Chain A
Amino acid sequence: MPKPLTITTPGERDIVVVRQFDAPRDLVWLCFSKPELMRRWYGLPDWTMTVCEMDFRVGGKWRYVTKSPGGYEMGSQGLYTEIAEPERIGQTEYYDDDWTKGGSDNVIVFTEGDGRTTATMTVTYSSAEARAAAVATPMAEGMEIGFKRLDDLLAEERA
C-alpha cells in the first residue's frame, strides 16, 4: 500500500500534492489521460462522476462533474495547456462556483523509479490572495467530511 500523499505550499501561490503509485509510468499516464479510466478513480468513493469529457490535446477542453450521494453537483473545467507523454500534463482549472477568482494553472509531472511512479501535482493560483480565497471557502458544500478526518487520518497513520 503506497504511503499517503503529502501536501505542501512551497511558493505563495502554490499547493503541491505528491503521491507514489505501485505501477509503471505508462500505465499511470493512461489513467490520467483516458476518460474511460479517469472516471473509474477520480472523486470520492460514494460520489459518481456524471460528466467526464476530455479533449486530450493542447488547447482541448476538459470538464468534470461529480455528484454527491445527496445530489450536490461539483463541476470544474478548463483547457489543456501542455501534454508531454508520458511525463507532464498542464491544464487550467476553473470551478463552477468560482471562489478562486480566476482559477488555477495545474501541472502534473510523472517520474518513474524502481517500477513505481510518483505523481507531483502543482496547483498555482493567480495570486496569494486567490489561494487564500480558495482555501477559505468550502471546497464543496455537502461534502460533509469535517474536522473528524484528523482522527481517521491518525488512525490510518497508526495502523
Chain B
Amino acid sequence: MQMDPSERLDATFIALADPTRRAILARLKQGDATVNELAAPFEISQPAVSKHLKILERAGLVSRSNVGTSRPVRIEAGPMRDAVDWLEKYREFWEKSYQRLDALLEILQTPINTDKPAKTKKQRKDDDA
C-alpha cells in the first residue's frame, strides 16, 4: 500500500495510540509470533487481535509471512521505526516531565502546618517562664 509520508505518520500515530497494539509490538520485539501466541496474554479474542494487526500492518509496523498456515507476524524495522522512536521519546519526555509536575503540585498543595503558628521568641520565652 502506497502512502505519502504524512499519511504513514498518521497511520503510525493511530497504530500506537492503543495500549493493546503497543503491547503487541513489545511482544514482537522479542521475536516473531503467531496470532494465537499474540492473543494468549490478552483477554480479547483472536479476531480482535487480527483487527489490531491490520492497523499495525497498515502503518508498516508489522508484516505477516505468507509461509505456512500459522503465518507468523514480524515487527518491521525500517523508516517507520524512526517515527516510533520519536513518538516514544516525545511521549517519554512529556510523561516524565508531567510526573515531576505531579510531584511539584503535591508539594505546593501540602498545607503548611497552620494549627500551630510559629511562636515568636518572646512567646517561647513566656512559655519557659
- Interface positions of A (Cβ within 8 A of B): 1-2, 4-9, 12, 15, 17, 19, 21-23, 27-28, 30-31, 37, 40-45, 121, 128-129, 131-132, 134-140, 143, 145-151, 153-154, 157
Is B51 an interface position by the 8 A CB rule? no
Q: Mark B3-39, 1 if CB is under 8 A from A, else 0.
A: 0011001100110010100110110010000000000
A27-B105 in contact (CB<8A): yes
B104-A37 in contact (CB<8A): yes
Partner of A154, one of B9, B22, B100: B22
A21-B102 in contact (CB<8A): yes
B86-A19 in contact (CB<8A): no
B102-A5 in contact (CB<8A): no
B109-A138 in contact (CB<8A): no
**Which B residues between 57 and 104 are near A, CB-CB below 8 angstroms?**
79, 81-98, 100-104
A1 to B91, CA, bound (A): 17
A128 to B82, CA, bound (A): 17
Report B75 CB to chain A, min CB distance, Å: 9
Count of A-B contacts judged by CB separation below 8 Å: 134
B29-A136 in contact (CB<8A): no
A7-B13 contact in complex given A17-B94, A45-B96, A136-B5, C-beta closer than 8 Å: yes
B13-A9 in contact (CB<8A): yes
Residues in B whose Cβ lies below 8 Å from that of A4: 95
A134 to B96, CA, bound (A): 20
Is B118 an interface position by the 8 A CB rule? no
A146 to B103, CA, bound (A): 25
A136-B26 in contact (CB<8A): no
Report B83 CB to chain A, min CB distance, Å: 5
